[in-house]
Chain A
Amino acid sequence: MKSGKLLTSFVWLYLIFLYLPVILLPLFAFNTGKIIAFPLKGFGFQWFYELAKIEALHTAVFTSLKIAIITSILATTLGMFASRAATRFSFPGKGPIMGLIMVPLVLPEIIVAVSLIVVLIKVLGLGLSIWTIILGHVLICVPFSIAILNGAFRSLDKSLEEASIDLGETKWSTFRLITLPLVMPGIISSLLISFVISLDEFIIAFFLTGSEPTLSVYIWGMLRFPARIPAVMALGTIMLVVSLLLLTASEYFRRRGLKRTGVQDTGGFV
């Protein structure tokens, strides 16, 4: 069929467009040349070795890891409350309430950053620290967490919990013994996605960073120095591999969760 062929070739062109930056990243990271341009000079690991020498970078990595871990735990906890409420109960004002919680999904990050700066710094007079960044990151991660957990909670068969209550378990022990294990894959998936989002987030960190820059703020600084760029490419390559491993893990857990509850896979979140 002719129109089908046309569509297929468009899809391939589009995939090239999508993957162009991703392919270039490792190409320049393993290139021994000092400038980011073709033709490539040769293959080598020198930029990765150079990364090991930059002290300030290691500090930034640890700052970012701290922020990302705390953010993912807080966001997933808050996401669980909201997702459980939204999938199991109908309550007054549900639409507007869930709307407010999900708004950061479409709100420009600069608005979140600016509003947090106004309240935390100008009004409350707090100093900038990693906690100001965490507060912002949790806000933008919660909607993603809810989107993932909604899938997990919705596919949960209500009768399993009812059976447990009928058999004499309390509400809490039912949650611990029945609900939690069944949605656990969703929870892990949400933790991983929040972690990746927080690790990569720039605008909020840029506005709210204090004396300890996060990894993305540090990269932003490095981008201004041409001599640093090849090392940045090496760093980006490592981050890409780590993100992909985490996402594959997240996808694995999400699917295992669906299998456990016996629902057909519909494509999922990522």
Chain B
Amino acid sequence: MKKIMNSEGANGLLLVSPTLLYAFLLLAVPIAAVVTFSFWTQNYLDLDTTFTLDNYRAATEEPIYRILLFRSLNISAIVTFVTVILAFPIAYYISFFVPQNKKARWIFLITVPFWTSYLLRIFLWKVILGYNGVLNSGLKGLGLIEQPLTFILYNMNAVVITLAHAWAPFAILPIYVVLEKIDRSLLVASYDLGESRIITFLRVTLPLAFPGIVAAAVIVFIPTIGDYVTPKLVGGPSGLMISNMIQLQFLKANNAPLGATLAILAMISVVLTLAILWLFGKFFGWINRNYLGILR
């Protein structure tokens, strides 16, 4: 028996090894290199390989980096919130209201817009939100506004709207998957026991869908912090994010070590934020179990 287990493990490892090797050489090693780089400095064209924390000092002390980092976190958090809140009803609708044989078609319908060129999709949001854009001329045509709205382009709002659009399917799909797994008889049982639809939703559906909501939030939150194109195209000066600065350091300022430091700080702050949220969730769960009992 032990021998079989061993050979199965060995077979599996052997089979996965090419892909693992690839991920190791082109992901794990490069990221380790980025970490190493962040402790070095660039001296014009030469790389100074003495260990130093100068980059971290610069990145945390100079206001521009701090502002960009906090703004990126802030934008990512808002985008995540907006995207997930908007995505949930859609996933709920597809899972609970669409007939079984039409579900695949609906999922396809949701994902189609995301196969338009990524760059052009963002550029088109610029066209939609602009001063003489589609939205403003449309609202003016309808007589709803006199002057074009200016708070929707070249600022954070534009970045949030565009990113909420760009990441929609990544939020809808994980939530849809968990909703599909919910045993419908649990809901029937709740109705039979006299609970209303709202209470059933709050106490049965929502808690069971929670893992999907968390997955959706994580899937949206982590990548959006590194978005480069959206802030560059629709963000204006007040909507620029940390990746614009990382790009600048790597490709224009020729200061790869500082760029590496900023990239690492961005990732660390994402992970820290998620860890804090996770702890907060645990804490809320504990309070709820012991004192409130709303979601029990």
Question: Measuring CB to CB, which residues of chain A are less than 8 angstroms from any residue of chain B?
Answer: 3-4, 7-8, 10-11, 14-15, 17-22, 24-25, 28, 36-38, 78-79, 81-82, 84-86, 88-94, 97-98, 100-101, 103-112, 114-119, 122-123, 135-136, 138-139, 142, 196, 200-203, 206-207, 216, 219-220, 223, 232-233, 236, 239-240, 243-244, 247, 251, 255, 265-268, 270
Minimal Cβ-Cβ distance residue in B for A106: B222
**Besides the known contacts A24-B127, A91-B8, A223-B233, 11 further A-B residue pairs in the complex with CB atoms under 8 A apart:** A38-B134, A38-B137, A81-B15, A90-B8, A90-B12, A101-B20, A112-B27, A118-B37, A201-B118, A202-B118, A267-B107
| Chain A positions within 8 Å of B8 at CB level | 89-91
**A251 vs B163: C-alpha distance when bound (angstroms):** 26
Interchain Cβ contacts under 8 Å between A and B, 25 examples = A3-B197, A24-B124, A25-B120, A84-B15, A88-B12, A92-B13, A98-B16, A101-B19, A105-B219, A106-B218, A106-B223, A108-B227, A110-B243, A111-B34, A111-B226, A114-B250, A115-B27, A115-B30, A116-B26, A122-B47, A139-B27, A196-B115, A200-B115, A207-B247, A251-B108
**A78 vs B16: C-alpha distance when bound (angstroms):** 8
**A158 vs B228: C-alpha distance when bound (angstroms):** 45
Q: Which 7 A-B pairs have the closest CB atoms?
A: A108-B226, A89-B12, A91-B12, A115-B30, A85-B16, A85-B15, A21-B124
| A25 with B19: CB separation less than 8 A | no
B182 close to chain A: CB less than 8 A: no
**A37 vs B131: C-alpha distance when bound (angstroms):** 10
> Which residues of B in the span 103-134 have a Cβ within 8 Å of any Cβ on A?
103-104, 107-113, 115-121, 123-125, 127-128, 132-134
Chain B nearest CB: distance from A239 CB in Å? 5
Interface 9-mer from B55-63, B90-98, B184-192, B282-290: B90-98
Contacting B28 at CB < 8 Å: which of A86, A100, A116?
A100
Given contacts A7-B93, A81-B15, A219-B119, contact A123 B33 (CB under 8 A): yes
> Which residues of B in the span 153-201 have a Cβ within 8 Å of any Cβ on A?
165, 168, 176, 180, 197
Contacting B26 at CB < 8 Å: which of A19, A106, A139, A220?
A139
Minimal Cβ-Cβ distance residue in B for A11: B93
Mask of B1-39 contacts with A, CB within 8 angstroms, 1/0: 000000011111101111110111011111101100100
B64 close to chain A: CB less than 8 A: no
Q: Is the interface of B mostly helix, strand, loop or mixed?
A: helix
| Chain B positions within 8 Å of A20 at CB level | 124, 128, 134
Chain A nearest CB: distance from B110 CB in Å? 7
Most interface-central of B28, B103, B134 (chain A CB within 10 A): B134
| Chain A positions within 8 Å of B251 at CB level | 207
Given contacts A92-B13, A115-B27, A142-B23, contact A107 B37 (CB under 8 A): no
| Chain B positions within 8 Å of A202 at CB level | 118-119, 229
Chain B nearest CB: distance from A219 CB in Å? 5
Chain B nearest CB: distance from A269 CB in Å? 9
| A232 with B120: CB separation less than 8 A | yes
Contacting A81 at CB < 8 Å: which of B19, B104, B109?
B19
| A22 with B113: CB separation less than 8 A | yes
